[in-house]
Amino acid sequence: MEHFTLEQGAAILAESARVLHPGGRLIVMQPNFRLEPRRYFDDYTHRTAYTDAGFSDFLRSLGWKIVHAEPRFVPFSLKSRLPTASWLVRLYLLLPFRPLAGQFLVVAERP
């Protein structure tokens, strides 16, 4: 969503709501500006800055119900020299505190 303008994002979410069945879920994971403000616009394709709270509010304003939200979900980037084996990712997601996390996760339900 960060690669689109706010208006384009609203249109994408409206189309998502249109194609999902009632109660269908939208899962969004993206960089959290609150946690990574210095790095957020290092990617020249980022158009809109979102925080975990701001994006949840954006969804609510469009009628979505937030089912689950995690401000610290995964590292800001998965480009790393560290191994990314699936068992390591599962272990990381089980940690009570996630070091280096810079992306949020929001699960929302269609109204």
Task: Tell me if 97 is assigned to some domain.
Answer: yes
Confidence of residue 90 (pLDDT cuts 50, 70, 90): confident
Alpha helices in the chain (DSSP H): 6-19, 37-40, 52-61, 86-94
Task: Tell me if 90 is assigned to some domain.
Answer: yes
Please give the Cα distance from 72 to 1 (Å, whole number): 17
> pLDDT tens, 17-54?
999 999 999 999 999 999 999 989 998 999 999 999 99
Q: With residue 65 as reference, give the H or E element that holds it.
A: strand 65-75
> pLDDT tens, 74-85?
887 666 666 667
**pLDDT at 71 > cutoff 70:** yes
Task: Tell me if 73 is assigned to some domain.
Answer: yes
| Nearest Cα to Cα of residue 40 among 78, 72, 76 | 76
Number of domains in the chain: 1
Range(s) of the domain holding residue 88: 6-109
Task: Tell me if 1 is assigned to some domain.
Answer: no
Q: What percent of the chain has pLDDT over 90?
A: 71
Mean pLDDT of 3-16: 97
